[in-house]
Chains A and B, each alone.
Chain A
Amino acid sequence: MLQHKTTAFFKPYLARSTISISKTINRMINSHKKYTASLIIFITLQFIAACNGEEVQPDISLFLPSNFPPPVYDISSNPITPEGFALGKKLFYDPILSRDSTIACGSCHIPFSSFSHVAHSVSHGIDDKLGTRNAPPVMNMLWHTTFFWDGGVHTLDLVPFNAIQNPVEMDENIANVYEKLRRQPTYRQLFTAAFGSEDINTQTFAKALSQFSLMLVSANSRYDKYIRNESGGELTAEELEGLALFKQKKCNTCHATDLFSDFSFRNNGIKEDLTVDKGRYLVTLNPDDMGRFKVPSLRNLSQTNPYMHDGSITTLEGVLEHYAEGVLLSETLDTLLQQPDGTLGIPMTSPEQAKIIVFLKTLNDIDFNKDPRFAE
């Protein structure tokens, strides 16, 4: 009953998210140009490998960067295997997971955009929880303490159910998904290879998807190489100034560690009316959490625009301008964004803002975005 209702209720939002998807596809085509060369090389290599009759076994050793804090996900509960990873990857890109077989996880979390996607609506499926949410990049999930902008889900393994059953996302019943998968001999084989049994259930399904998501580690930007003293890790004087400013302006209080998030929930002043999307409040019902959202990572920003949970800022210039002079006052606005003299935001000159942007671009990880192991 409710199911039907909510679906009808969300029709306009569905339409909107379709528009966003086509936008993304356009963008994908554009970014394709950039990567055509490397793609061709990769495909060629694959052909050569295939001709030689070799199995192309991807390297599935988990990358644990030395500049990252200890992982959060208990990897011993779900050790990554080549078979589990391959199955997870197939599921991630298979639209069979959606009701009308049109949308895969990978339609919204696209490799060329660090597994993120332009703005589209999302909701908790019930009336008082409607919000327009931007798909965050699926990367470095191994270190996340909570999932979604409001941190509602506490383990990566439980994330896919939300997307699949959400009327504005895949709008499918999970039991149906299992049925559809069971009917395919390939999937029965893949599940057997990965988990020793062709039984497709909540545990094996979720663990396979997690294995794929966990492998999506982005930590090879120029900045990372600089921090780890690796070759290719040279930063220009301007970039280093930007890094210094990033710290001096206390961006790193919230965008902390080399994950660039402390995973806390904060209000950075993008809205005056906090009822549009109540954020963390929806999960805790604590009035102090109104309009607070999980601090996002700042990696691969060149691929993940638009920015913020609602996609309301489209450029990095816009983001820096926001912090400098666009911060809006509301009851839960973070105190770091309120100066002792009563002014709001973080005082920054235009040249300072420009330098911070130059630094942020050193966090783009080209290797990650075109890693053939992760692409469809």
Chain B
Amino acid sequence: MKNLKFILVAILAFATVFSITSCEEEDESTPGPLTLHFENRAGSSTLNFGQAYNNEAGESLTFSTFNYYISNIKLKKADGTYYTVPKDSSYFLIDGEDNESHEITLNDVPGGDYVGFEFVLGVDSLKSASDIGQRTGVLDPAGAAQGMYWMWNSGYIFVKVEGTSPAVTEVDGHFFYHIGGYGGYSSPTINNLKNISLEAHNSEKASVSKDAHPEVHIYADVLEVFKSPNSLSVAQSPVVMFAPQSTDIANNYADMFSINHIHND
């Protein structure tokens, strides 16, 4: 009996010590937070609303709105495998006017080194066609999605760019680009969803663990909306919303993101 007790205690003690050391050893793979910080840019400078910038067509643009949806985030590890953020917590609206919305903090990301990530620019078709029960948070048409939701087709505006330009002669010199279209519910239509894939440069990586909180600094360049592959002139097309031309603009903004640098604090 005594012997048995002793053995039990010994096993317990051993197990405890072992689990403590194993914690230390596997520290790297314990989940931790990771922040994606979106910085809106206009070419080589930070985008400031109210300040003028030139597009590729040489027109002077002053922006007042630059909003976009990010969803379905996947993080790429150094070994080529992916961590997919749970779908329900993977919808974000980056609102040009709300600085807090520029930082997406993902919690409980499995520990490890991340060298890139993928996401959908827009709200995927499944979610866009979902019933009312799923339209909560940033997808609530009466809440955060107000102004980013088309009531008449129950779809979301993926990217919204507005401002003024002396080049525009109509509507008091305003331009409006409201780009959306998820492919249609029952009949096919334009699909302006873009899969974005970004890689870190110079062998930078985001090392996630429970004690480290890396931050990936991403640039979103509004001037890319106006160029490559299709040069967009505000004078020629001051308003583009749900129309065939919107696919040209979506093809432009597909490359507006880049990873600028990564902090590992």
Of the listed stretches B2-10, B77-85, B240-248, chain A binds B240-248
Most B CB contacts (10 A, CB to CB) among A74, A145, A282 go to A282
* A126 part of interface (Cβ distance < 8 Å): yes
Contact of A283 among B140, B151, B153 (CB under 8 A): B153
| Residue on B nearest A145 in the bound complex, by CB | B186
Q: What's the Cα separation between A74 and B131 when bound, in Å?
A: 10
Contact A155:B132 (CB < 8 A) given known A1-B174, A161-B151, A174-B141 = yes
Of the listed stretches A58-66, A85-93, A187-195, A202-210, chain B binds A202-210
Interfacial chain A residues near B146, Cβ < 8 Å: 173-175
Most A CB contacts (10 A, CB to CB) among B64, B132, B154, B176 go to B132
Contact A286:B186 (CB < 8 A) given known A1-B162, A161-B141, A161-B142 = no
CB of B162, distance to nearest CB on chain A (Å): 7
B residues 186-223 near A (Cβ < 8 Å) are: 186-190
Are B135's CB and A202's CB within 8 A?
A: yes
Are A153's CB and B153's CB within 8 A?
A: yes
Interfacial chain A residues near B186, Cβ < 8 Å: 145-146, 151, 154
| Residue on A nearest B162 in the bound complex, by CB | A1
Are A148's CB and B241's CB within 8 A?
A: no
Query: Interface size class for chain B?
Result: 35 or more
Q: What's the Cα separation between A158 and B156 when bound, in Å?
A: 13
Q: Size of chain A's interface in residues, with CB distance under 8 A?
A: 44
Q: What's the Cα separation between A124 and B176 when bound, in Å?
A: 15
A residues 113-128 near B (Cβ < 8 Å) are: 124-128
Are A284's CB and B189's CB within 8 A?
A: yes
| Residue on B nearest A166 in the bound complex, by CB | B151
CB of A365, distance to nearest CB on chain B (Å): 29
Q: What's the Cα separation between A174 and B132 when bound, in Å?
A: 15
| Residue on B nearest A150 in the bound complex, by CB | B152
B residues 107-148 near A (Cβ < 8 Å) are: 129, 131-133, 135-136, 140-143, 146
Are A128's CB and B241's CB within 8 A?
A: yes
| Residue on A nearest B172 in the bound complex, by CB | A5
A residues 154-187 near B (Cβ < 8 Å) are: 154-155, 157-158, 161-162, 165-166, 173-175, 177-178
* B76 part of interface (Cβ distance < 8 Å): no
Are B151's CB and A286's CB within 8 A?
A: no
Interfacial chain A residues near B133, Cβ < 8 Å: 77, 203
* B18 part of interface (Cβ distance < 8 Å): no
> Which positions in B face A, CB cutoff 8 Å?
64-65, 129, 131-133, 135-136, 140-143, 146, 150-154, 162, 171-172, 174, 176, 178, 184-190, 239, 241-244
> Which positions in A face B, CB cutoff 8 Å?
1-2, 5, 74, 77, 124-129, 145-146, 148, 150-155, 157-158, 161-162, 165-166, 173-175, 177-178, 201-203, 205-207, 280, 282-286, 289
